[in-house]
Structure 1
Amino acid sequence: MSNSSSDSKLVHEQIQYLEFISSDLERAKKFYSASFDWNFTDYGPEYTAFDGKYVDGGFTVGTPVNGSILVVLYSNDLLSTRDKVVRAGGTIVKDIFSFPGGKRFQFKDLDGYELAVWATE
């Protein structure tokens, strides 16, 4: 996730990050910079993160598909949130893993939608 996030955006178990798929990252950056004044930070050739006032997000290289946005929630306690997801009937599809900026896991809800939850540690 973006390193420039302010702590005021990190609200426990609320949507904090949206991840889009784009076939052209430069085109996406130009469009969203012009449209919404988002700032971008590149993390290699296949990922760029953006900063918005109330939510952050990113774009990864791929073929856009309707419904392909990955909704990412923030947690103060990743293990506790993971346990709550499992108890509620969610299916873990990517168990807790580290990435630059923190850790996260991904799950499918009861309708099959995939979401992620991340923490700074």
Structure 2
Amino acid sequence: MARFNYLELPVRDVPAAKAFYAAAFGWTFTDFGPDYASTMTGDTDLGLNGDAEHSTAQLLPVIQVDDLEAAEASVRGAGGEITLPIFAFPGGRRFHFRDPAGHELSAMQADPATG
């Protein structure tokens, strides 16, 4: 089953973004290097991406899938454009795509070792 499980914000300053969301909403973040931090509630989480290579220009909705390669094939078959091929990150693998209306999204598959 595919479901939205993550929302990623492109940010220029990860520590400043973390400080804002902690002060505004009381959220805590886990750091994944100097350019990425994420809430880890297990529900719909928020990622703060300061990595220019893997960051999008806008908000990035992330859809969790059971089979990443099958999802990529389905996206292509439905007329989507792959904008960033499958890559690994701490916690799993994902790819970015643009739907026919021009929205950029991501599909991810969690690493079974991390959930």
3-state SS of paired residue (1:39): coil
Candidates 34, 39, 46, aligned match of 2:23: 34
Cα deviation code 1:1-26 (max 9, x no counterpart): xxxxxxxxxxx311111111223222
Equivalent position of 1:74 in the other structure:
64
Q: Percent identity?
A: 38
Cα deviation code 1:41-71 (max 9, x no counterpart): 11111111123463112112279xxx71111
Q: Given the two structures, how large is their TM-score scaled by the length of structure 1?
A: 0.76
Q: Which moved more, 1:33-42 or 1:83-92?
A: 33-42
Candidates 85, 92, 104, aligned match of 2:75: 85
Gaps of 5+ in 2: none
| Residues 85 and 96 in structure 2, CA contact (< 8 A), matched pair in contact too | yes
Equivalent position of 2:109 in the other structure:
119
Tell me, in whole angstroms, the C-alpha distance in 2 between the residues paired with 1:95 and 1:53. 25
3-state SS of paired residue (1:115): strand
| Residue correspondences, number | 107
User: Partner letter of residue 26 of structure 1?
Assistant: P
Q: Given the two structures, how large is their TM-score scaled by the length of structure 2?
A: 0.80
When the two chains are superposed, the root-mean-square deviation of aligned CA atoms in Å is 2.1
User: Partner letter of residue 17 of structure 1?
Assistant: Y
Tell me, in whole angstroms, the C-alpha distance in 1 between the residues paired with 2:59 and 2:41. 16
* Distance apart, 1:37 and its partner CA: 2.6
